[in-house]
Amino acid sequence: MRIGLDMMGGDFAPTEAVKGVKLYLDTVASDVHLVLIGDEQQLTPLLADAQLDQSKYSVVHSSQVIGMNEHPTKALKEKPQASISIGFHLLKNEKVDAFISAGNTGAMMVGTYYSIKGIEGVQRPTISTLVPREDGSYGVLLDVGINADCKPENLAQFAILGSLYSQNILNVPNPKVGLLNIGEEEGKGNLLAQATYPLLKENKQINFVGNIEGRDIFSNKADVIVCEGFTGNIILKMAESIHEITHRRGINDEYISKFDSETYGGTPVLGVSKPVIIGHGISQALAFKNMILLAQQMLQSKLLEKITASFSTKEA
């Protein structure tokens, strides 16, 4: 298994990316080979200092970086030597099996769309977030931002993608799927939610448990919570701000600390045929480590093959 990591992406690159690589290699036993993409001059001393097992990684030099505020399509076109461009090139040409970056999110999305095939039958790829729960388990909320406007069929597909993610990565046997809504009963909600409810109810591939309200997001009522990307993104960023507020106020709570984006690392783009993981710009060592681990789990569990099978069954 070869996992490509953009060492130049994010606010604390490459220092925190190197620390994350070290944390991963020190704590996770695996046969993963890491392909570290970045500026050799910057990386060499940092990697030497980190005293890593040299058989576990190789470096691919990249002479350019796409800035966090650059226009994605333009940047990818004009900077073929950027770490993100090289990452997608390697992924496309099967030199790596997965690609991770905490860099420009737009460039990551555009790169994914242009370089990686979609999975047959999936109308729209989606991104998700893990939702920490008090018992230590995690729910999945999706979409969290790339699909601001959705049709009912899109949400129905997110439900399948989220269920497979929950099953294969979070090891939840028969994940309960909830539709995010503003009332408990069928028939409540906006037009989208009203039209989505029957689609989820009919779908035999998922374990639909009904509507989930805002107060239930952090509960165990559902393992997979489905919504369009507008509401999902607001929830995600609001939860992160709650973490920041409590941190600033000196509140030290094991559970609330999990609202930190570091914990969940990054989101996979679900619905495309290869593992692409997009990290938060503020990713530090733990987030990088968790993203590498997630890529490893996605490959080991054969999640994408299972998604492909699930959607081809549906088409048949």
Whichever of 219 and 310 has its CB closer to its own copies, that residue is: 219
Decide: helix, strand or coil at residue 11.
Answer: coil
Q: How many CB atoms lie within 10 A of CB 118?
A: 14
Under the binding rule (CB under 8 A), the answer on residue 71 touching its own copies is: no
List residues bridging with 84 in a β-sheet. Answer: none
Nearest distance, CB of residue 124 and its own copies, angstroms: 14
Whichever of 186 and 216 has its CB closer to its own copies, that residue is: 216
HSE, side-chain direction, 13 A CA sphere, residue 219: 11
Binding-site member from 20, 139, 178, 229 for its own copies (CB under 8 A): 229
Q: Residue 313: what residue type?
A: T
Whichever of 120 and 134 has its CB closer to its own copies, that residue is: 134
Q: How far apart (Å, rounded) are the C-alpha atoms in residues 43 and 68?
A: 20
Nearest distance, CB of residue 231 and its own copies, angstroms: 5
Decide: helix, strand or coil at residue 191.
Answer: helix
The conformation of residue 119, written as its DSSP 8-state character, comes to: P
Whichever of 49 and 153 has its CB closer to its own copies, that residue is: 153
Torsion angle of the four alpha carbons 200, 206, 208, 212, in this order, in degrees rounded to the nearest 10: -90
Nearest distance, CB of residue 193 and its own copies, angstroms: 7
Binding-site member from 6, 228, 260, 262 for its own copies (CB under 8 A): 228
Q: How many CB atoms lie within 10 A of CB 172?
A: 19
How many residues belong to the site for its own copies (CB under 8 A)? 39
List residues bridging with 38 in a β-sheet. Answer: 61
Nearest distance, CB of residue 53 and its own copies, angstroms: 39
Instruction: Point out which span in 7-15, 82-90, 215-223, 301-309 binds its own copies (CB under 8 A).
Output: 215-223
Binding-site member from 58, 214, 220, 314 for its own copies (CB under 8 A): 214
Nearest alpha-carbon partner for 217 in 93, 132, 127, 94 = 132
Nearest distance, CB of residue 230 and its own copies, angstroms: 5
Asked if residues 48 and 41 have their Cβ atoms less than 8 Å apart, the reply is: no
Instruction: Point out which span in 154-162, 170-178, 185-193, 199-207 binds its own copies (CB under 8 A).
Output: 185-193
Binding-site member from 94, 173, 215, 315 for its own copies (CB under 8 A): 215
Nearest distance, CB of residue 54 and its own copies, angstroms: 40
Decide: helix, strand or coil at residue 65.
Answer: coil
Nearest distance, CB of residue 192 and its own copies, angstroms: 8
Q: How far apart (Å, rounded) are the C-alpha atoms in residues 114 and 160?
A: 24
Q: How many CB atoms lie within 10 A of CB 35?
A: 21
Strand order in the sheet with 276-279: 57-61, 33-38, 2-6, 98-101, 276-279, 266-270, 126-132, 138-142, 224-226, 176-180, 207-212
Site for its own copies in 95-154 (CB under 8 A): 134, 145, 148-149
Binding-site member from 37, 193, 224, 298 for its own copies (CB under 8 A): 193
Site string for its own copies, 245-264 (x = CB under 8 A): xx--x-x-x-xx--------
Nearest alpha-carbon partner for 229 in 308, 160, 154 = 154
Binding-site member from 26, 153, 244, 305 for its own copies (CB under 8 A): 244
In the complex, the residues that contact its own copies under the rule CB under 8 A are: 134, 145, 148-149, 180, 182, 189-191, 193, 213-219, 228-231, 233-242, 244-246, 249, 251, 253, 255-256
